[in-house]
């Protein structure tokens, strides 16, 4: 995607890198609760990586926190961190198993041994 404006803002104490196609985005961010909104017009339409490179070279990132946020925006992300949710309607076993129990009561020692074997605790 291409952008005409880029900059930073602070939302709930967290510095965020922002991209936009209109300068009205700064007003919208302020209305939504962002503070320290600093969005500048790019010299030409750019993608995110180009915009970040421009901001780093132009002196926009004088503060070390702004520089770190810009660099983190284009840094490769670990895709293994993503979570995939799968919805399963129902699972029915193919075969029915019957379990025969000889007794129903267990001693405290048996329960403790079972907890230790399963959970590693007593």
| Strands 3-11, 14-20: pairing kind | antiparallel
- Going by C-beta distance under 8 Å and a sequence separation of 6 or more, which residues neighbour residue 18? 6, 7, 8, 9, 25, 29, 37, 39
Annotate 24-68 with three-state secondary structure.
HHHHHHHHCCCEEEEEEEEEEEECHHHHHHHHHHCCCCCCHHHHH
Q: Percent of the chain at pLDDT above 70?
A: 74
pLDDT for the residue 110: 78
Residue 122 confidence (pLDDT) above 60: no
pTM of the model: 0.59
pLDDT for the residue 45: 93
Q: Return the higher-pLDDT residue of 21 and 115.
A: 21
pLDDT for the residue 82: 59
In 3-state terms, what secondary structure has residue 78? coil
Hey, which residues does 107 pair with through a beta bridge?
Answer: none
DSSP 96-115: ------S-----HHHHHHHH
What is the rounded (10 degree) CA torsion for 57, 63, 69, 75?
40
How many Å apart are CA 15 and CA 7, to the nearest integer?
10
Residue 83 confidence (pLDDT) above 70: no
29-53 pLDDT tens trace: 889 888 888 899 999 999 989 999 9
Hey, which residues does 40 pair with through a beta bridge?
Answer: 6
């Amino acid at each position: 995607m291409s952008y005409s404006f880029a900059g930073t803002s602070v939302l709930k104490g967290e510095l965020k890198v922002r991209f936009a196609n209109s300068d009205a985005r700064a007003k919208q961010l302020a209305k939504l609760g962002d503070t320290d909104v600093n969005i500048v017009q790019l010299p030409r339409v750019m993608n995110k990586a180009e915009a970040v490179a421009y901001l780093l070279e132009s002196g926009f990132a004088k503060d070390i926190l702004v520089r770190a946020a810009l660099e983190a925006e284009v840094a490769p992300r670990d895709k293994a961190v993503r979570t995939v949710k799968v919805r399963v309607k129902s699972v029915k076993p193919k075969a029915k198993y019957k379990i025969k129990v000889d007794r129903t009561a267990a001693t405290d020692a048996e329960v403790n041994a079972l907890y230790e074997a399963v959970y590693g605790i007593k």
